[in-house]
Amino acid sequence: MDLSYLDYLSTCGRTPLHRAGPLSKVLLAAAFVASAVLARDTRAGLAGASLGVVVILVAGIPARVAAGLLAYPAVFGWAFSAGDPWLGCLRAVTAAGGVIAVLGTTRFSDVHSIVAACMPRLLADSIYLTYRSFFILSDEVARVSRAVRLKGARDLRALGAAAAAALLRSVDISERLYMVLIMRGYDETVRPAPRETTLSPCDAWPVLLGAAALCVSLML
Amino acid sequence: MTHLHIPDGSLPVGVASAGWAVAAVALAVSLWMLRARDARRNLALTGVTGALMLAAMSVPLGPLPVHLNLAVLAGVLLGPAMSVLCAFSVNVVLALVGHGGVTAVGLNTVLLAVQAAGGGAVFSLLRKRVAPATAAALSTAVAVTVSLGIGAWILGIGGSPATQAYSRGLAAGAAGRLWRIGVVAAPIALVGLVCESVAVGAAVALLDRVRPDLVGGSRGD
């Protein structure tokens, strides 16, 4: 999973999509998913998938990383399509392109601010802490995996024990995280970042790309 | 295991919507169960457990095309209600990186929640009779088997009219050929099931020795 790299890109990228507001980008992702669902034949699928690739490149995600990220849904889209496997593959690339582009250009705190407005706060906070904890934990898991490899233990029991060791560290981390939240004035909710309600010229990019994706599915 | 990596546009709208509806009901029931508890105190643990599940899912089991989920471990640690929230959070993050579509989040939440909440419930029943590690391994085997069954049903093996229509589509497509090599798929699923059971059993055994309060049900529902 290239979650760490996408998170890095979302904060350090300098493309027009990075400057666009989170709401317009969430709408972009929704438009690409709708486009994937609505694509009726290979021609519409191909146009949608091309836009999916374009939006990923506009988001500044390097082609090699983009290929890796899109290959996964493409393979499963081919395998699990009801009907033409190539249409399934193209639909998968269309939707994944839109969603990955949004994650690669939007800070997760901004995504959280949109998510928190649409669902119960406990649920939105759970998603936010899962995402943030992944980065805390991934270093720990890498350290434990290295230790297991160096000790030559490769059986499942060792793997389970290593997972448990990582889990024990996770529990410590979670308890520390809770204390940090309390010390920083946590009042039983993770406050979402203030949502931008005004549109900027940069919002034209996601709006146009989203509209184009919907148009190719509806008109082709 | 039993996480459907189905991207957007592959599932019929009816099946995906039904998955979202069932997941919404499960989440509403979980939130209702948590209303009187100090659930936010366990929120940090929920986030970290979800992150551990994500980390486990990103490590393939050698050459086999399966990975661990550790969903039952989440059920043991968090209890049924909180583990459903954890399952949903994990699936949302996975969908954001293209591992399963946004439209499949509902179905995937149902599958993971069945493992987490169901496995956690079976564990709390068994742990009074057998050692925690054995209880964890057995509850994982039961929960993953049930979840696999639901996953197979969703994919159209003798399911509802909607999934039967999907099944006909699958049979005509590439996945139909994949299903016909079920002789290969079934043993892989079995190996994955054994791996998940052994790993969760070993994890719970260690936790029971080092932090018995975590597997003692103090955080359960």
Please name the residue that has the structure tokens 């890109």.
A9
pLDDT band at A202 (very low <50, low <70, confident <90, very high): confident
pLDDT band at A181 (very low <50, low <70, confident <90, very high): confident
* Residue ranges covered by each domain of chain B: 13-215
Q: Which residues of B touch A25 (CB under 8 A)?
A: none
Q: Which residues of A touch B47 (CB under 8 A)?
A: 126, 128-130, 132-133, 174, 177
Yes or no: say if A112 and A123 are a contact pair by the CB < 8 Å rule. Answer: no
According to the model, what pLDDT value does residue B6 have? 82
State the amino acid at position B43 in one-letter form: L
- Taking CB atoms and an 8 Å limit, are A83 and B172 in contact across chains? yes
> Same structural domain for residues A174 and A96?
no
CA distances from A117 to A120, A122, A195, B95 (A): 8, 12, 10, 19
Q: To the nearest whole angstrom, how far is the Cα of A42 from the nearest Cα of chain B?
A: 13
Among chain A residues, the shortest Cα distance to B178 is held by A79
According to the model, what pLDDT value does residue B173 have? 64
Q: Which of B44, B51, B90 sits opposite A137 (nearest CB)?
A: B51
At residue B35, φ and ψ (nearest 5 deg) are: -60, -35
> Same structural domain for residues A211 and A160?
no
Range of the domain at A202: 3-107+197-219
- Taking CB atoms and an 8 Å limit, are B173 and A165 in contact across chains? no
Closest CA to B71 of B46, B53, B91: B53
Q: Is A198 a residue whose pLDDT tops 90?
A: no
Yes or no: say if A166 and A83 are a contact pair by the CB < 8 Å rule. Answer: no
> Same structural domain for residues A18 and A102?
yes
Residue A44 placed within a domain: yes
Report the distance separating Cα B194 and Cα A156, nearest Å: 10
- Per-residue confidence in pLDDT tens, chain B, 221 aa: 566 778 888 888 888 898 999 999 999 999 999 887 777 778 888 888 898 888 888 777 666 667 888 889 999 988 889 999 999 999 999 888 888 889 989 988 999 999 999 999 999 999 888 888 899 999 999 998 898 888 877 776 544 555 556 666 666 665 665 555 565 667 777 888 888 898 888 888 888 888 888 886 544 44
Q: pLDDT of A75-93, one tens digit each? A: 888 877 777 888 889 999 9
- Taking CB atoms and an 8 Å limit, are B103 and A168 in contact across chains? no
Report the distance separating Cα B179 and Cα B186, nearest Å: 10
Report the distance separating Cα A30 and Cα A98, nearest Å: 8
Number of domains in chain A: 2
Residue A191 placed within a domain: no
According to the model, what pLDDT value does residue B220 have? 44
> Same structural domain for residues A49 and A16?
yes
Yes or no: say if B117 and B78 are a contact pair by the CB < 8 Å rule. Answer: no
Report the distance separating Cα A177 and Cα A133, nearest Å: 9
- Taking CB atoms and an 8 Å limit, are B44 and A36 in contact across chains? no
According to the model, what pLDDT value does residue B167 have? 64
Report the distance separating Cα A103 and Cα A84, nearest Å: 29
Fold of B13-215: Arp2/3 complex 21 kDa subunit ARPC3 (1.10.1760)
According to the model, what pLDDT value does residue A191 have? 66
Yes or no: say if B101 and A73 are a contact pair by the CB < 8 Å rule. Answer: yes
Please name the residue that has the structure tokens 């389970």.
A160
According to the model, what pLDDT value does residue A78 have? 84
> Same structural domain for residues A63 and A12?
yes
Tell whether the torsion through CA atoms of B118, B90, B218 and A169 is positive or negative.
Answer: positive
- Taking CB atoms and an 8 Å limit, are A122 and B43 in contact across chains? yes
According to the model, what pLDDT value does residue B138 have? 94
> Same structural domain for residues A170 and A87?
no
> Same structural domain for residues A98 and A179?
no
pLDDT band at A46 (very low <50, low <70, confident <90, very high): very high
CA distances from B218 to B12, B35, B138, B213, B215 (A): 42, 17, 21, 6, 8
Q: pLDDT of A151-168, one tens digit each? A: 776 666 666 666 667 778
Q: What is the ipTM of this complex?
A: 0.85
According to the model, what pLDDT value does residue B24 have? 95
Please name the residue that has the structure tokens 């839109």.
A98
pLDDT band at A141 (very low <50, low <70, confident <90, very high): confident
Q: Is A123 a residue whose pLDDT tops 60?
A: yes
Q: To the nearest whole angstrom, how far is the Cα of A200 from the nearest Cα of chain B?
A: 25
Cα A112 from chain centroid (whole Å): 12
